Amino acid sequence: MLKIEPDRLLNDLKRLRSFGATGTGVVRLSLSPADMDARRWLAQRMSEAGLSASIDGVGTVFGRSRNDGPALLIGSHTDTQPTGGWLDGALGVIYGLEIARALAECGETRHLAVDVASWIDEEGAFSGFLGSRSFVGESVDAAIRSARNREGVLLGDALEQAGLAAAPRVRLDKTRHKAYMEPHIEQGGRLEAHGKSIGVVTTIVGIRELRLRFTGQRNHAGTTPMSIRRDAGAALVAFIARMNEAFSQLADADTVWTVGRIELDPGSFSVVPGSADMCLQFRDAGAERLRAMEAALAALIRDFNAQEKVSVAMLDGEPPEEPVTMDAALQAHLASAADALAPGQWERMPSGASHDAQVIAHHVPACMLFVPSIGGVSHDFIEDTAEAHIVLGCEVAANAAARILEAMRK
């Protein structure tokens, strides 16, 4: 069994938390002063761990093992949401650092190569998954020229300001990087509900984000009888009920759908809404199920428009994100390490949230490991994970990393 140092792990996580600390939470938006301070500290800690560390031309911190490959790349992100928690992203990066140190300190594993990354802007302050997208070779030049954060600052100007504009961009080296591992907090309540300590991720779910607009007739709410109304809001409510029924028939226990926003126009007591918009998101680990849900929605829209006095149309939504399957062999190594260190305390599960792993998995075999989120909460100041779970997760990840690296060399 590979040993990690729990105190060193926890202390590094707590030190990272201090950059941008706000109450129990963290405000560390990409390329902000707090974020850049954290990145410089992280590069320093990587160097102290024997890695060759740098901050690249988009802001990704990359610590390269001085050992020859094949290498396992371990990463996540240290930027946060506008009101973020201390572990989201940070956990996986510090796990990578600790695993690199643990491998180097053990005679049997010190020849193995772990590279560690903190990808820039996973949270999309400027452009989501910027670091991992740049790493796998997607062009980010358009984003650098035109993406702005909510203060209106251009990404290119922020990189200039951070002194990174001229720095080289780190790129995937397929001759070296043979696997990617992203440890992360679960961000949901499933492990806690099931009394488990470790999740081995099977798939990162696919996402559809759609806007529906209902168009009826705006009217006086006192003088327009119910029988002749064309109430766009009432139509929206009726549509959601039918949609819930249709989706329920297609769903399994992990399928989720959310109406996150409803707007009625003009939005007053005394006016029958003439127009009504809703934002709909649905997620599932199965590409086929997502397509079935899309088809069911299209059929509902057709039927609605054929039968009802209010029409419904789909507006432009976000581009679809397809589900991404985690590599089976890597999952097996995680499962075997979990079985050894936490027998009966782990389970396989999909990731309902998005991660850099879904970008990288298209180019390199990838896997993810989850630790429980207390109360299922993340993206919130109260986000937390029990210290025992933080330590156990790192032990499982470290031992899986050793097994993965040994297997690569066979």
Contact residues toward a second copy (CB under 8 A) are 186-190, 193, 205, 207, 209, 219-228, 231, 233-234, 237-238, 240-241, 244, 251, 253-264, 267-273, 279, 281, 283, 318, 351-354, 376-379
Alpha-carbon gap, residue 368 to 181, rounded angstroms: 6
Residue 77 known to bind ligand: yes
Residue 363 known to bind ligand: no
- Note the helical H segments in 116-154: 130-135, 141-146
Tokens of 182: 């992203």
Residue 151 known to bind ligand: no
> Whole-number minimum distance, CB 242 to a second copy, in Å?
11
> Whole-number minimum distance, CB 154 to a second copy, in Å?
24
Q: Which of 81, 83, 90 is nearest to 12 (CA)?
A: 90
167 vs 238, which CB is nearer to a second copy?
Answer: 238
| Segment 239-244 long-range contacts (CB within 8 Å, at least 24 positions apart) | 239/212, 239/214, 239/300, 239/304, 239/312, 240/278, 242/300, 242/304, 243/280, 243/296, 243/297, 243/300
> Whole-number minimum distance, CB 341 to a second copy, in Å?
24
Alpha-carbon gap, residue 115 to 66, rounded angstroms: 9
108 vs 245, which CB is nearer to a second copy?
Answer: 245
> Whole-number minimum distance, CB 301 to a second copy, in Å?
18
> Whole-number minimum distance, CB 142 to a second copy, in Å?
23
Please provide residue 116's backbone torsions phi and psi, each rounded to the nearest 5 degrees. Answer: -125, 135
92 vs 188, which CB is nearer to a second copy?
Answer: 188
6 vs 189, which CB is nearer to a second copy?
Answer: 189
Q: Which of 311, 258, 263, 256 is nearest to 286 (CA)?
A: 256
67 vs 385, which CB is nearer to a second copy?
Answer: 385
> Whole-number minimum distance, CB 120 to a second copy, in Å?
20
35 vs 383, which CB is nearer to a second copy?
Answer: 383
The CA distances from residue 319 to 210, 257, 316, 327, in Å, are: 9, 17, 9, 24
Residue 184 known to bind ligand: yes
34 vs 278, which CB is nearer to a second copy?
Answer: 278
67 vs 255, which CB is nearer to a second copy?
Answer: 255
Alpha-carbon gap, residue 113 to 364, rounded angstroms: 16
If 0-12 CB within 10 Å is exposed, 13-18 middle and 19+ buried, where does residue 361 land? Answer: buried
Q: Is 357 helix (H, G, I), strand (E, B) or coil?
A: helix
Q: Is 274 helix (H, G, I), strand (E, B) or coil?
A: coil
Alpha-carbon gap, residue 231 to 229, rounded angstroms: 6
Q: First-to-last CA distance in the chain? A: 19
> Whole-number minimum distance, CB 44 to a second copy, in Å?
33
Amino acid at 95: Y
**Residue 200 contacts residue 347 (beta carbons within 8 Å):** yes
Residue 379 known to bind ligand: yes
Amino acid at 278: M
The CA distances from residue 270 to 222, 223, 258, 277, 373, in Å, are: 7, 10, 28, 19, 45
> Whole-number minimum distance, CB 217 to a second copy, in Å?
9
Alpha-carbon gap, residue 317 to 295, rounded angstroms: 16
3 vs 261, which CB is nearer to a second copy?
Answer: 261
> Whole-number minimum distance, CB 303 to a second copy, in Å?
18
Binding-site residue numbers are 77, 88, 123, 184, 379
Binding-site residue numbers for Zn(2+) are 77, 88, 123, 184, 379
